[in-house]
Structure 1
């Protein structure tokens, strides 16, 4: 195992499951000394076990008070990953549901990004925002989710330009389907899981929309995020890594 993050301090939001958990585990395995893990699921967050000093913060990333009270001293890396899913045609979508998704996926990302950039000011660092191929390719029923992720792609570019003077690199990753618990909030997927099982439901979705015929594992996305965070990507900023299995072709 390489040690690209030896002695580093990293923030990961949405760290209790899925991509966030996989990133936290990978950073710790590659030498990170201190992890600041944020999630609103207290039980799942407490169950995270990694070989690094951990500070666990339970709360909503869209709550400004959470960030006002969090000590990010010495922060080197940040993974702006917390997000929620949802579906519904525009004409049928309740405004409350629109706001729920935008609040976490965009407002929460902004607050996380702002806090991380403030902590890195004058020191340098690297940040990755977890966006989605849904922010690039239009599909029926994903207006709120897709728009929230499209906004993240531009937010990363603006942040990269603003952060460059402080040697802060900011990039985004845009996976398509990833086998994570976020799918459980999508009624269509939950229905298929009940009918044919989780693995078969993921395989069915991937076969329909992904030329390579499969979805990513959270661990694969974590490796891509770690590359963008690492010194191997020292000249990469303001970019989006599209890792979609050909979905957007």
Structure 2
């Protein structure tokens, strides 16, 4: 049975991805540092098993990957989904806040990928890194988060360039606004309305829609796709210079 590692699998996009892998016959190693929440999530994934791990800690990462291999004997896909968000103005983002974001979002993605490479080489596996639309475009209050996700995108390209000769594919998914429980708890009606105005599809994405893209890139149907960044965002990235107020207006001309 093919084995996928999914980090940040206790909730949200990670849990939806683990469920989809399981439905397609994969064994899923569900990784998270929130042990109690992970324990609640694992029974929802038929072929899943959980391992507590803080991916920012090299020793824990090494032990986690060894544990997966001891149990399954193989790693066919790695989904680096675990991440933290700490939003705030540049001047109020002290170095401790900056490092806390980088430690998980960038360092953790690097550490888990590196630890999995020997096993991925054996089968020509796939890495799917989860970045964000905030890594593709500037935004307010995201100096650490957006920079970390932009770095994840570049890390993905480095992985694709260097690991391709071993049959390892590396791709990146950049989610736009997603209707997670956390987002709905912190997004005011005004924020939700503003996002709807800015997104051509006029809605948030779902966790399942993100999972569809992730599992596709991890599987054989994407066998000749590597080094790519797929924005799953309802067209959000396309609207950088478009004003929502102008939508629906018919083109006119002077004279």
Structure 1 length normalisation: TM-score?
A: 0.87
Deviation at 1:152, TM superposition (A): 0.5
1:178/1:20 CA distance change after superposition, 3 Å: same
1:197-247 Cα shifts (integer Å, max 9, x gaps): xxx577425224322211110010000111111111100000011111222
For 1:208 and 1:100, the matched residues in 2 are separated by 32
For 2:107 and 2:142, the matched residues in 1 are separated by 18
Residue 25 of structure 1, aligned match among 8, 19, 22: 19
Residue equivalent to 1:195: none
For 1:148 and 1:229, the matched residues in 2 are separated by 22
Secondary structure of 1:21's counterpart equals helix
**Mapped pair 1:14 → 2:15:** no
**Mapped pair 1:50 → 2:39:** no
1:89/1:56 CA distance change after superposition, 3 Å: same
Residue equivalent to 2:33: 40
Q: Which runs of 5+ in 2 are unaligned?
A: 239-255
For 1:202 and 1:233, the matched residues in 2 are separated by 35
For 1:19 and 1:212, the matched residues in 2 are separated by 20
- Once the two structures are superposed, the pairs formed by residues 132-211 of structure 1 within 5 Å of their partners are 132-181=132-181, 183=183, 190=186, 192=188, 200=189, 203-211=192-200
For 1:244 and 1:56, the matched residues in 2 are separated by 29
Question: Is residue 85–residue 183 contact of structure 1 (8 Å, CA) maintained in 2?
Answer: no
> For this pair of structures, how many residues does the alignment match?
230
Structure 2 length normalisation: TM-score?
A: 0.85
Question: Is residue 90–residue 143 contact of structure 2 (8 Å, CA) maintained in 1?
Answer: yes
**Higher Cα Rg, which structure:** 2
**Mapped pair 1:60 → 2:54:** yes
Residue equivalent to 2:245: none
Deviation at 1:148, TM superposition (A): 0.4
1:134-170 Cα shifts (integer Å, max 9, x gaps): 0011012111000000001110011011111111111
Secondary structure of 2:122's counterpart equals coil
1:9/1:146 CA distance change after superposition, 3 Å: same
Mean Cα deviation higher: 36-45 or 173-182: 173-182
- Once the two structures are superposed, the pairs formed by residues 84-103 of structure 1 within 5 Å of their partners are 84-103=84-103
Cα-Cα RMSD: 1.7
Secondary structure of 2:9's counterpart equals coil
Q: Which runs of 5+ in 1 are unaligned?
A: 1-6, 193-199
